[in-house]
Homo-oligomer: A and B are copies of this chain.
């Protein structure tokens, strides 16, 4: 299958009839946000051997490449509107592999109602690389920012934290079901789009957890000019990660600083605490309060006794500025 057959036969159906995609038959696409709306643009690349394992199922690689971008849109409260994809394919990649990759992408684009608008397919002497740029819409001027948190705001997270760190590291001592759960969480993130919708006009700041909980809350701190305290006991953990901590308590640090969970972290004014149930219901995902924003800078993590938990450089690396 050459480049042009691949585009015409496999990718063109993914445009889902979007008129601005021109059936992938032009040099460029056109996109026009609804009147009174901003286009939100985010770009994330995933690279074989870095963001996924080379032997991961091809459909899951496609899903991850898409979903890490949709997760950014979710964190910004944006409604997905389309993607463009630059796909760098190693020589010798078989047609079956490509078909499975596209099937995974097609399933997700259908599920999320997102059209493929354009892109580029090229060969590479390196590993498979998928660089997606995703577009979303927000009412003009309402994108949820990293900046905007205020001292006293509640820090909240969706879902459970540390699953992807466990999925990436693996631990043969755990039950098979815990290992499978964590691997799935690492391979196939769940973009929290419904929660992001519910956070419009409610969250003062937000981010998705891609670098790790501590680092990403740190990004909110930096951009908001504040510090944060996270109560470790309040961080929601799955049964799999609780097994992992039982095997070695030092894994707490890996759970709090590991990347790729793709849950949302966001800041709520304290008087909105009563809305957590509504947000969780709308987002179809549990939401927990894990700490507070305050003056200063950087992120401190405290144990149940109020003692600061020292984190290795990995967790604090991006916060030392």
User: Are A41 and B143 touching (Cβ within 8 A)?
Assistant: no
User: Are B27 and A42 touching (Cβ within 8 A)?
Assistant: yes
Query: With A42-B118, A43-B118, A140-B32 as given contacts, are A26 and B125 in contact (CB-CB < 8 Å)?
Result: no
User: Are A26 and B223 touching (Cβ within 8 A)?
Assistant: yes
A84-121 interface (Cβ within 8 A of B): 84-86, 88, 117-120
Query: With A28-B73, A38-B32 as given contacts, are A47 and B147 in contact (CB-CB < 8 Å)?
Result: no
Provide the bound-state CA to CA distance between A50 and B40, in Å.
31
A267: Cβ under 8 A from any B Cβ: no
Contact of A38 among B20, B88, B133, B145 (CB under 8 A): B20
16 extra A-B contacts, CB within 8 A, seeds A2-B317, A35-B35, A125-B126: A25-B223, A26-B76, A26-B147, A27-B72, A27-B146, A28-B72, A29-B40, A33-B33, A42-B118, A44-B86, A50-B125, A86-B131, A88-B129, A126-B126, A126-B129, A131-B131
- Residue positions of A touching B, CB distance < 8 A: 2, 4, 8, 20, 22, 25-33, 35, 37-45, 47-51, 72-73, 75-76, 78, 84-86, 88, 117-120, 122-127, 129, 131, 133, 135-136, 138, 140, 143, 145-147, 207-208, 219, 222-223, 317-318, 321
